[in-house]
A and B are shown apart, each in its own frame.
Chain A
Amino acid sequence: MEQRIIASEFAEVAVSLDTDANGPRLRIEDLRGGRVRHLDALELESVVWLPEERLRELLDPSAGRWSDRPGDE
């Protein structure tokens, strides 16, 4: 499993093709936060088609990791 690192001064992730499941997935590991997520072909395709604004919304720190709204993770 060949791992590639994609890094900037803002983030550092390792990506690799995971073949352990019944179908291939992209494995993404946040090297600074330690968390891993797998994205399957359909999820990746959806990211490709995501409107620019929706992608940008994901970059809002309060949209996920640093949310203080009750009920958010």
Chain B
Amino acid sequence: MTVRYSELIQPERVHGSLYTDPGVFAEELERIWYRTWVCVGHVSEVARPGDYVRKAVGTQDVIMTRSADGEVSLLLNRCAHRGNLVCEDARGNSSSFRCPYHGWTYRNTGELLGYPYNQGYGGKGKLSLGLGRVPRVDTYQGFVFASFAADGPSLKEHLGAAAGELDRLARLSPEGEIELTAGWLKHRAKANWKLLVENETDGYHPQFVHGSVFSVTGSHIGSLYSDKSTAVTRDLGGGHSENDLRPEFRRMGTPMAWFGTSEAKVPEYVRKMRELHGEQAEEILIEGAPHVMVFPNLFVAEISVFMIQPVAVDETVQHVTAVQLKGAPDMNRRLLSQCVGSVGPAGMLLADDSEMYERNQRGMAARMPEWLDIRRGVGRERVDENGFRVGTANDETGMRGFWSHYRSLMEREDAQ
């Protein structure tokens, strides 16, 4: 039975079965996760030759490596002999991987170096086998992306306007580079991955779901998404969207207010930024970090970086780490501390988001009304000077952008 995506995805509503049908999930793996560009990690996680970390692309077990000549590869964790896992540790340093089952040995680029007792194969170098390699690997601002499609749009084309948001993150570092070196929290949710994606740029929920923490900490985040907020939701095209909070931060006009702090608390950082950027430093320090969802799985929420990993139609692992700014140790301690307090299984924000994903998934088991509504703000959307659709801070403009791109990928005749 073929799924008619054009019927299930309509401009103002989407069908519940898209979140609950295992057949849809299987097709998503092929048409999205094993085709489009998916974010896997960051080059700073494999900073030195021989470094490796285990990662996931969709449900695929992948090893991200850095070879002697500095190249980053993504290898499939499956021995070419009989399919055993080649790599067991979460991270390590080794120029070569030796499968524990029968000792086949590979370079960290995937090339087969040899196998024990080679007379059984007629001698050395007789097998043209190796570890599977993700066909296309590319990086942007250090983020490593994978595409299982041998050809297709380039990473630059895929990122489109979202690239500028990653630039905006990187420019917060006095050295122009971020690092993701603080390790990842892995948070399991019994929910479909798209509920996470949609929630990430949903400006409608914070006042409700996060009211508990806003009320006890006096956080200003709630007001950023209120009906009075001048912040906007922007559909960046390509399924990417952002909550552009800059109008609010500009209105405050105070350096570091975006981070809920003042320049007096991080004088060294502010000094370095002013030294580097001169007059432009004020703009950077006032506008702060982006809040952007990069299709399909990279979410940057100012100080936290999330990667969404689908596990099953009703199960997702959300990986999250703190942004670390190269050359800003005083900021990094604060970034880590604030991030740890907010995200992950016990986070004061994300634990409640995750509770909502799970209740949302259970709610959709009900037979009626069948549809999820995504029309909020349709009537007040405008097109900005760059041609992007813009809604208010709590409109569902980003979700609509996500779904229109999702539909274009899922509908393609040439899929598979």
Contact = CB atoms under 8 A, between A and B. Distances in A.
Interface of A: 8-11, 52, 56-57, 59-63, 65-69
Contact of B114 (A9, A10, A63): A63
B85 to A, nearest CB: 11
A8 B119 contact: no
Contact of B98 (A10, A62, A69): A10
Interface string B86-104: 0111001111111000011
Contact of B87 (A9, A52, A60, A65): A9
A61 B100 CA distance: 12
Given A9-B87, A9-B92, A56 B107 contact: yes
- What is the size category of the interface that chain B forms with chain A? 20 to 34
B92 A68 contact: no
Given A59-B105, A60-B124, A8 B116 contact: no
A60 B94 contact: no
B182 interface: no
Interface in B103-145: 103-105, 107, 113-120, 124
Contacts of B115: 60-62
Contacts of B120: 68
Contacts of B89: 8-9
A2 B281 CA distance: 51
Q: Closest 10 interchain pairs by CB?
A: A60-B114, A66-B116, A62-B118, A61-B116, A68-B117, A9-B89, A68-B119, A61-B103, A10-B98, A8-B94
A56 B87 contact: no
A3 to B, nearest CB: 20
Contacts of B114: 59-63
16 contacts: A8-B92, A9-B88, A9-B94, A10-B97, A11-B98, A52-B68, A56-B95, A56-B113, A57-B113, A59-B113, A60-B105, A60-B124, A61-B104, A61-B117, A63-B114, A66-B116
Contacts of A62: 114-118, 124
A61 B105 contact: yes
Nearest to B98: A10
Q: Which of B89, B104, B105 has the most CB of A within 10 A?
A: B105
Contacts of B103: 61, 66
Given A8-B89, A9-B89, A62-B124, A68 B118 contact: yes
A69 B87 contact: no
B115 to A, nearest CB: 6
A8 B68 contact: no
B178 to A, nearest CB: 28
A73 B50 CA distance: 30
Nearest to B52: A8
Q: Which of A11, A52, A62 has the most CB of B within 10 A?
A: A62
A11 B115 CA distance: 16
B119 A69 contact: yes
Contacts of B94: 8-10
Nearest to B92: A8
Nearest to A7: B92
A49 B226 CA distance: 65
Nearest to B111: A56
A25 B250 CA distance: 65
Contacts of A65: 116
A22 to B, nearest CB: 33
Interface string B27-64: 00000000000000000000000000000000000000
Nearest to B116: A66
Contacts of B113: 56-57, 59-60
A52 B50 CA distance: 13
A67 B94 CA distance: 23
Nearest to B69: A52
Nearest to B93: A8
Contacts of A69: 119
